Structure 1
Amino acid sequence: MKGFLSIILLSLTFLSCKNDTKNANYAYLGGEIINPTTNFIVLEKDDELIDTVKLDGRNRFIYKIENLNPGFYSFTHGGEFQMILLEPKDSLLLRLNTIEFDESLVFSGIGAKKNNYFINDFLEHESQEKYIFKICQLKPKNYIKHIDSINAIKTKRLEQFKKKNKPSKLFTKIAQANIDFDYYSHKEMYPFIHYGRDKVAILNTLPENFYSYRKNINYNDEFFSKYHNYKAFLRKNMSNMALQAHAKHSKGKPFRHKDLCYNLTRLNIIDSLVSNTTIKDELLYHFAIDYLSKNQNIEDNETLLKSYLEKSNDDKGKVIMERIIASINRLKTGEKMPEFIVTDYTANNHNISSIIKNNTVICFWSQSYYKHFNDSYKRINELKLKYPEINFIRINIDDYNLQRSKNILANHNYISNSEYKLENPVSTKENLAIYPVTKTFIVDKNTTIVSSNSNLFSLRFEKELLGLINR
């Protein structure tokens, strides 16, 4: 790989110099994929497809982006993706192993330092979330001290990077936003993650200036509208503000995430604060589908759907939402499991009812959710030992061919006779309202639905299994 990088870097440097006298608004992206699951990568900018770039016989690629729009681009391979920052005259090379996608990703070439900074920041953020959940149990003043300390460390690191590398204003803007949005998110999540059940009482213990930064938030920031950290912050922020508003008219009742009133309040706050249609429609869709996919009260679903339809400008999202709610209403406890076709890894098709011979748990996986893919397999193995009288099956829902799914399982030694793939992923996911991917069905030996919205990792899951066994 080193020899390949040297040759490519020399070539890109030559090409870059040659183009200096012409149009300088371009960038090169190249690299090597180890253990590829497809023979291409997909390059996008702001959810718009730029190109599908094929790998050569040695799993390498090189691509020139003409008329570059500086900013974050995403490259996708095998259902996983990562963001890269590209600016004029960058010649960026990447190397990754699909088995450890993010953890193995390294950059070299022109533009490498800023992208290595971002990937390291991303990985640190992922590992830090467990720590944040832990310290959320502290009292507010102690919690603030901890997150202030984290914020100070990140700020110092950025200042050192700027002093050493003198990056562009674009890099500095995004890097600072990463620090800010993380810090704000940690504050917004505090009432929800704190172990106390009385969320209103928790809110009342917060210092008066705990959310003082909110007055400076731009809820219609076009620049960050497609940016994950910004969107993640807005979701936490809207949820928290809805909690505060809901507390004023809940008349002392304990807070529940599934309360219709709370969820309607959240949609109303989004409608009042956000005018950018891209940001607004995405927030409305996220919270509406999250509620509808977890609720089986038909009247409440219809009320929330009506509120969503009145506020959203996303015609495609509206159609999807109406189809999903129709599916959810058909998946009630006591109804028969809808028929759909799955394929085993010897390429044989089966109606789902034909493989349900006794009490059965049906769960799903996607390579896009790699952690859940691994964790669900391990969790099912544990449950199989504890509940041998229950059948557990796992189904891949990705829209790609059987061999690719089989390769992913084989690479992890996960092939078994209880693994299947959806024959028609797009229509079946909609008919079964599979959102989120953690959605799990429990059905009895007669294919009657016992639960259409369980979760392998919930505290209640094993109680649900025992209830089924003892029926």
Structure 2
Amino acid sequence: MKRLLTLSIVTTLFACKEEPKIDYVLFSGKIENPTVKSVSVFQGREKIKEIQLEQDGTFSDTLTVENGYYNLDHGREVAYMYLEKGDSINVSLDTKEFDETIKYSGIGSGKNNFLAEKILIEEKADIDISKVYAMEEPEFIAVMEDLKNSKVKSLESKENLSSEFKTTEKKNIDYDYLINLLNYPSYHKHFAKKAEFKASDDFMTRFSSIDYNNSKDYEALDSYKRLVQSHYAKKLRDSDNPSLIFDEVSNAGIDDLKEDFSKSLRYDISPSNENLKAFYDGIMKLSSDEKYKEEITAKYDKVSKLAKGMPSPAFVEYENHKGGTTSLKDLKGKYVYVDVWATWCGPCIREIPSLKEVEKQFHGKNIAFVSTSIDKASAHNTWVEMVKNKELGGIQLMADNDWNSQFVKDYAIEGIPRFILIDPDGNIVSADAPRPSNPKLVELFKELNI
């Protein structure tokens, strides 16, 4: 009897013991040919954890997460993941072919292998943005629908995914599709060179029924977040009164949108923005990040001094490819068209043929064409050779301190190529002049009787 009683107590103890809840993810993997010594896991902009690699490229750690989407960063490469409490995921990849080699195994791997496959579908589609967005509406829509359908077909073929995840991913695929369509009118203007283009009413009706105030999707889905921000960015571009759009964003029911949207507009504080004051006031109204607001205020104060007719910031004794140095004051009496570029900048290099044509057209006129490289000192020989090999014309200079050159800072340059036009008296004509490939540049030169 005593033994039976003991067994009963033991059984009761085991029966009453609560199963431990797993509220973390076991995360491990191996990086072949690592480019840095760690991997980092992000949720949006927030770094969840940085994990150091062992000498053989392996790593292992636990992650405390909420169920949702995350980024795995290694160097300049990014992989998208979906993590849930209780997952035990192992990832392997080779940085020499990052997207092509990434594989997941373990609990929760099915979701992540699909996300990796979705990236490959986009890569295999090999969509040339300039060509696709130059297409007419029906052809463009067909390409986007083919891409969307390929992703959906892949998703539906997976048997080991939960219905909840599939439903979420179908939303993501739909939102990505809509973002591509939403960008079409403005991109088509640029790539098809149709400044007056407007999308048809039938095309635009696709956006009339979208709910841009879904706080749940905004929090959970990066694709929806980008769609909402693209929606308001388009409204800003199309509006004659940007202040009204800023009020609309401020009154929207998504709290995080205000901060996110304000930070997406940092590059709109630029000399080319005709509504500079309205954008500055709008950003200051939306953001609660005091450090960011200080940065924007400093940039706004700088950009405000770059208006047409203001004295131009100067470059002083920049190395000249032909020998010696050149300063802006040496060119006084001529218009000066400055191309700020670098040997590593693809868009800069694509402008070279157009720049040569413009230089040829205005050869002998009262204008100096100056190309200022902001390459690092370590790339000096690369600059010397590229100028020689590509037979670059004009005055070829190298800035004294790459991105930290005073001229670059004074002109609030945060992206290249950047083109600047200065008049013969050293005053600003345009702190963000048209590119050589833009017909408006030659029109501007002719208006100035150059």
Same-fold status (TM-score > 0.5): yes
In 1: Cα distance, 2:55 partner to 2:425 partner = 50
- After TM superposition, the structure 1 = structure 2 runs for residues 346-385 of structure 1, keeping only pairs within 5 Å, are 359=336, 361-363=338-340, 373-380=345-352, 383=355
Counterpart residue number, 1:94: 93
- 1:391 match: secondary structure: strand
Contact in 1 for aligned 2:71/2:80 (Cα 8 Å): yes
Counterpart AA for 1:46: G
User: 374, 395, 411: which one pairs with 1:395?
Assistant: 374
Cα distance 1:310–1:170, how it changes in 2: closer, same or farther (>3 A)?
A: same
Counterpart AA for 2:261: L
Contact in 2 for aligned 1:384/1:392 (Cα 8 Å): no
In 1: Cα distance, 2:316 partner to 2:43 partner = 35
- After TM superposition, the structure 1 = structure 2 runs for residues 238-277 of structure 1, keeping only pairs within 5 Å, are 238-240=232-234, 242=235, 257=237, 260-261=240-241, 263-272=242-251, 274-277=252-255
Contact in 1 for aligned 2:133/2:140 (Cα 8 Å): no
Mapped pair 1:117 → 2:94? no
User: 238, 247, 257: which one pairs with 1:279?
Assistant: 257
Question: Alpha-carbon deviation of 1:133?
Answer: 1.3
| Partner deviation per Cα, 1:336-358 (whole Å, 9 max, x = no partner) | 443689999xxxxx998699899
Cα distance 1:72–1:318, how it changes in 2: closer, same or farther (>3 A)?
A: same
| Partner deviation per Cα, 1:269-302 (whole Å, 9 max, x = no partner) | 3233x33232222224434x454325465xx433
In 1: Cα distance, 2:164 partner to 2:386 partner = 43
Contact in 2 for aligned 1:331/1:432 (Cα 8 Å): yes
Question: Alpha-carbon deviation of 1:328?
Answer: 0.8
Cα distance 1:238–1:414, how it changes in 2: closer, same or farther (>3 A)?
A: same
Contact in 1 for aligned 2:25/2:89 (Cα 8 Å): yes
In 2: Cα distance, 1:466 partner to 1:33 partner = 54
- After TM superposition, the structure 1 = structure 2 runs for residues 408-419 of structure 1, keeping only pairs within 5 Å, are none
How many residue pairs match? The answer is: 400
Counterpart AA for 1:278: D
| Partner deviation per Cα, 1:332-384 (whole Å, 9 max, x = no partner) | 2344443689999xxxxx998699899452425698xxxxx323234337635
Counterpart AA for 1:286: S
- Give unmatched runs, 5+ long, in structure 2: 1-18, 320-324, 361-367, 389-395
Mapped pair 1:432 → 2:414? no
- 1:392 match: secondary structure: strand
Contact in 2 for aligned 1:293/1:328 (Cα 8 Å): yes
Counterpart residue number, 2:149: 152
User: 412, 415, 431: which one pairs with 1:452?
Assistant: 431
- Give unmatched runs, 5+ long, in structure 1: 1-19, 244-256, 345-349, 368-372, 397-401
In 1: Cα distance, 2:23 partner to 2:343 partner = 40
Counterpart AA for 1:330: K
In 1: Cα distance, 2:439 partner to 2:59 partner = 50
Question: Alpha-carbon deviation of 1:159?
Answer: 0.8
- After TM superposition, the structure 1 = structure 2 runs for residues 129-278 of structure 1, keeping only pairs within 5 Å, are 129-130=129-130, 132-135=132-135, 137-138=136-137, 147-160=144-157, 162-163=158-159, 166-168=160-162, 171-193=165-187, 202=199, 205-206=201-202, 210-214=206-210, 217=211, 219-222=213-216, 224-225=218-219, 228-240=222-234, 242=235, 257=237, 260-261=240-241, 263-272=242-251, 274-278=252-256
In 1: Cα distance, 2:161 partner to 2:188 partner = 39
| Partner deviation per Cα, 1:389-444 (whole Å, 9 max, x = no partner) | 62312325xxxxx68x759x97xx96998565856759987653335555433457
Counterpart residue number, 1:250: none
Cα distance 1:149–1:92, how it changes in 2: closer, same or farther (>3 A)?
A: closer
Counterpart AA for 2:155: L
Counterpart residue number, 2:46: 48
Question: Alpha-carbon deviation of 1:322?
Answer: 1.9
Counterpart AA for 2:31: E
In 1: Cα distance, 2:278 partner to 2:130 partner = 36
Cα distance 1:156–1:258, how it changes in 2: closer, same or farther (>3 A)?
A: closer
In 1: Cα distance, 2:195 partner to 2:54 partner = 56
TM-score if structure 2 supplies the norm length?
0.68
Counterpart residue number, 1:12: none
In 2: Cα distance, 1:182 partner to 1:138 partner = 18
Q: How big is the alpha-carbon RMSD for the aligned residues of Structure 1 and Structure 2?
A: 4.8
Question: Alpha-carbon deviation of 1:453?
Answer: 1.2
Question: Alpha-carbon deviation of 1:314?
Answer: 3.6
In 1: Cα distance, 2:23 partner to 2:214 partner = 31
Question: More deviation in 68-77 or 460-469?
Answer: 460-469
Question: Alpha-carbon deviation of 1:180?
Answer: 0.8
In 1: Cα distance, 2:430 partner to 2:29 partner = 47
Cα distance 1:414–1:266, how it changes in 2: closer, same or farther (>3 A)?
A: farther
Larger Rg: 2
Mapped pair 1:127 → 2:127? yes
In 2: Cα distance, 1:103 partner to 1:387 partner = 42
- 2:313 match: secondary structure: coil
Contact in 2 for aligned 1:107/1:115 (Cα 8 Å): no
In 2: Cα distance, 1:339 partner to 1:306 partner = 29
Cα distance 1:153–1:39, how it changes in 2: closer, same or farther (>3 A)?
A: closer
Question: Alpha-carbon deviation of 1:90?
Answer: 0.7
